[in-house]
Structure 1
C-alpha cells in the first residue's frame, strides 16, 4: 500500500471524529493519565487524519490523543496527513488501527466486524485482518448479548470467556445469569458448570427430531471450549424458547396421529389431569376417568380407537397416562362386565378346589390384577441397560411424583427400605422420630398415612419427604423400579419408546432384529430401500437413517420387553 503522508501541525478545531470509530467507551481515568503524560512529555506519536472534501480533516487514528489535546485546550496537534489515500486504503488503515488497539473491547471489535461484513464476505475480512474465520464468528456471537451485558463487557466489568457463555442464552436468561455472575463473582469455568447443572435439555432425551439442532449455535456441543462434552456427543439445548416450540410441535404431531386413530387428543399444560381439564363443550356429567383396573386389558385395548376417549398429551410432547371416557354409560357397562367376569372366574376356581383354601383364593385374586413385573432388572444385566433405565425412571418420577402427603409418605417408606441409604436416617433426630412412629405398622401407605396423621406427624413427614426427594438419585435400581411400577402404576409403554436413546443402547444386530419385529424392515422394502444396506453403515448413520425414514413404531419390541422384565396380560 503506497500512500503519501506528511506530518504537520493542524488546528484541533478542524479535526472531525469518524463515526466508524470502533471505540464506544473511553476510560476517564486512563484519559486523565494520558493528558498528564502529554502535558509532561509532549506527543510522541502523531495522530492520523485524511483531508475532507468539505474542508478540515477526518480523524483516522489517535482518538484518545485527540481528546487529550481538546481537554488540555491546545490549539494545534501534530498529525500524519494521508494526502493520496483512496477510500479502500483509508478503510484498511482505519480497520487495522482499530483492531490493533490493546484496549479495544471485544464488543467494539464485534461491532466493527458487523459493519465490515455488510459489505464483504467473512473470507475477505479474515484475509484483510489476518484472523481466522472462527475468530470472527466468535466475536460476532457477542452481538447476541443484551444491552446491559454489552456495556459491562465494553467497560471491562465482565471478561471475554464469561461474555461468550452469556451470549449463548436467551435474553431473559442472560439478565438472570448476569445477576448471578455478579453476586457470586463467577469465573467462566464456574459459570459453565452452573449452566450445565441447571440445564437438563439434553438432546439425546429430546422427543423431537434433533437433526436441525446439530449445527445450531445454541447447542453446547458446538462450543466444546465453553461446555463440558456430553457422553452422547449431542450436547444440550441452551435456548429454551426453541426447545419448547419443538416440543409443542411434537405434541401437535402426536395429537394428530391419535385423532386419526379415533380418540380426541388434548394438549395439556400440566401433568395431573381431571375432569375439569376436558374441553368446555364436553359434558362432564357423562365423563369418567379411565381406569385400567376397572375395565381390564381387553376393554382397554378396544377403547384405544373409540371416539369417546379423550387422550391427554403434555406440552412437552409426552402422552399422559390419565385418559377420560366421555361415554359413561358405555364405561359403566364394560366395568360391570369385567367385574362379573372376575367374579365368575373366582367362583369357578373355588368349585374346582372344593371349599377352596386361603392360598388358592390369594392366587386367584393376584391373577386378576393389572400387569406387574415378572422380574426386576437382574443384577448381572449390562451396565448400559441399567444406566439407560435409571435415567428413564428418574425422569418419569420427577414428572409424575407430585409432592402430595400420600406420595411423600410412599417415598419415605421406600427410602427406609433401602438399606444402602436408610442407615443414614438414624443420625437425624427428626427422621429417627418418624422411624419410631412407623415401627410395627403396615408399610402400606394407605394404612400408615392415617396412623401418622393421628400421631400428628405431618411436620415429620414434610421434613422426611424433602430429604427423600433429594436422595432419589442414591436409591438402588430395584427400589426405583418399585416406585415407578408398583407405587405409580407405570407401564413399559409409557417409559420406553423407539427413539434415539433406545436405539443407541442396542448393538447393530439388536437394532436390525428390532426393525424386523416392529415392521420397519417391510416398511423400508416397500419404499425400495434395504435394511441390510443400512446396517453396513456406521451405527450413528444407521440410526439417523431409521429415525428419518418416516416410520412410526407401534407397541414395544420383544427385546425391550424382555429387558424391562414385563409381560402384558
Structure 2
C-alpha cells in the first residue's frame, strides 16, 4: 500500500529566493513512500497547458503598474517563440489564480495566445503574497511605492516584524525601513513616483517636508526642471536653512548715505559707511590697484595737512 505525503511549503525558504522556495515545496508534495520496498520516489514537477481564459491575476499582486512598451516587446517575443517559462498558479473554484507570472500572462493576451504552460501549486495567502513580492523584487519590476506597500502589508496583515520581512526578501532591515518611509509622502507625490516622474532618490530627498502641499510643489519643481538627485538635495538644504532676519536700518540712516555719497566724490572711488547702533560704525574705501591705493593715501595726507 502506498501512502502519499503532502505538506505545505515552509516560508523559511523565501529568504533564499523564489527558485529555492518552489523547489523545496515541489520536493515535499511529490514524495511517495512505498512501505514494501522502503524506497522514496521523487516525481518531476508537473507542467500542463491551461487556456488563458481560465487564468485570473491575483488581486493582491504587489505590482500595479506595467510598462506597456515592455509588454508589447514581450508579446512579440511570445508570438515568435511562445511562453518559455511556465506561470505559477493555484487552483480556485472555477479558475486558476496567478501566483507568479502576471506579466507573461498579460503579454500572452496581447499576442493572442490561447493556452500557456503553468505549474499548479498550493500555498497559503501569505505565501502567495511573499512569492509575488520576491519575484517582482528579483526582476526589479516594482516601483518604489509598490514595493513599500507590499512590505507594509506583510507587516500589518501578517504581523511580521521588519527584520523578518528583510530576511524573506534578502534585504537589510535598513532597506526595509527606508522603503516604508516613502509611504509618508503626500499621495500626489507617491503617484508621481509610481508614474516614474520622480525617482526613489528624489522621493527620499523631499520626504522631510512635512506640509503636503509644499512637498507636492517641490516635487512639481523637480519634475518640471528635470533636477538631478544632487540638485534636489541642494534645494532641500536651502529650504531648511533658517532665514536671516532683515536688519532694521537706523532712523537717521539717510544722514549716513548722504555723507557716503559726498565721500565717494571726494575720494574718487567707492566708499561704504556701515553704521551700527549708538552712532558707531566703520568706513570701507575700495581700491583696485597699488597706484590707486597710493593716490588715496596722498589724498588723505593732503587733507590732513590742510
TM-score of the alignment, normalized to the shorter chain, above 0.5: yes
1:194 is the counterpart of 2:235:
yes
- Distance, in Å, in 2 between the alignment partners of 1:408 and 1:141 is 52
Give the corresponding residue for 2:193: 153
The alpha-carbon distance between structure 1 residues 151 and 88, as it changes in their structure 2 partners (threshold 3 A), is closer
Q: Which has the higher contact order (CA 8 A, sep 6+)?
A: 2
Shift in Å, 1:45: 1.0
Shift of 1:409: 4.5
CA distances 1:419-455 after superposition (whole Å, capped 9, x unpaired): xxxxxxxxxxxxxxxx359868xxxxxxxxxxxxxxx
Q: How does 1:73-472 map to 2 (within 5 A)?
A: 73-82=112-121, 84-118=122-156, 119=158, 120-170=160-210, 171-201=212-242, 395=244, 398-401=245-248, 409=254, 413=257, 435=261
Q: Displacement of 1:38 after TM fit?
A: 0.7
Cα distance change on mapping 1:409 and 1:158 into 2, 3 Å: farther
Q: 42, 55, 72: which is aligned to 2:82?
A: 42
Matched, 1:2 2:25: yes
Q: For the residues of structure 2 that align with 1:150 and 1:408, how far apart are their CA atoms? A: 52
Q: Tell me which residue corresponds to 2:68.
A: 28
Provide the alpha-carbon RMSD of the alignment. 3.1
Match of 1:72 in 2: 111
Deviations 1:161-207 (A, max 9, x none): 11111222121221221222123221111111121123224xxxxxx
Secondary structure of 1:6's counterpart equals coil
- TM-aligned CA deviation for residue 61 of structure 1: 1.0
Distance verdict in 2 for CA 1:157–1:117, change over 3 Å: same
Matched length = 232
How big is the shift at 1:87?
A: 4.1
How far is 1:407 from its partner? 7.6
Quick check: 2:206–2:236 contact (8 Å CA) kept in 1? no
Query: 1 CA distance for matches of 2:216 and 2:279?
Result: 41
Deviations 1:50-108 (A, max 9, x none): 111x22111111111111122233221111211x4344543432232132122321111
Higher share in strand? 2
Q: 1:181 to 1:90 in 2, by over 3 A?
A: closer
How far, CA to CA, are the matches of 1:125 and 1:167 in structure 2? Answer: 23
Structure 2, unpaired ranges of 5+: 1-23, 30-44, 267-271, 281-306
Secondary structure at the counterpart of residue 185 of structure 1:
coil
Distance 1:95 1:437, change over 3 A: same
Q: Is the 8 A contact 2:60 2:129 kept in 1?
A: no
Change (3 A) 1:413 1:103: farther
Residue number in structure 2 paired with 1:342: none
Instruction: Say if 1:116 and 1:125, in contact at 8 Å, map to a contact too.
Output: yes
Residue aligning to 2:53: 13
Q: 1-side partners of 2:223 and 2:253: how far apart? A: 37
- Hey, what's the Cα distance between the residues in 2 that align with 1:74 and 1:407? 87
How many angstroms does 1:37 deviate by?
0.9
Deviations along 1:301-341, one digit per CA (max 9) or x if unpaired, are xxxxxxxxxxxxxxxxxxxxxxxxxxxxxxxxxxxxxxxxx
Alpha carbons of structure 1 residues 48 and 407: separation in structure 2 relative to 1, 3 Å:
farther
Structure 1: runs of 5+ lacking an equivalent: 202-393, 418-434, 441-467, 469-474, 489-569
CA–CA distance in structure 1, aligned partners of residues 166 and 124 of structure 2: 21
- Aligned CA distance change for structure 1 residues 407 and 55 (closer, same or farther; 3 Å): farther
* Corresponding residue of 1:370: none
- After superposition, the Cα gap between the structure-2 partners of 1:180 and 1:60, relative to the gap in structure 1 and judged at 3 Å, is same
Give the aligned partner of residue 99 of structure 2.
60
SS state at 2:46 partner:
strand
1:486 counterpart residue number: 278
State whether residues 123 and 133 of structure 1, in contact with CA within 8 Å, keep that contact through their aligned partners in structure 2. Answer: yes
Q: Report if the CA contact (8 A) 2:145-2:182 is conserved.
A: yes
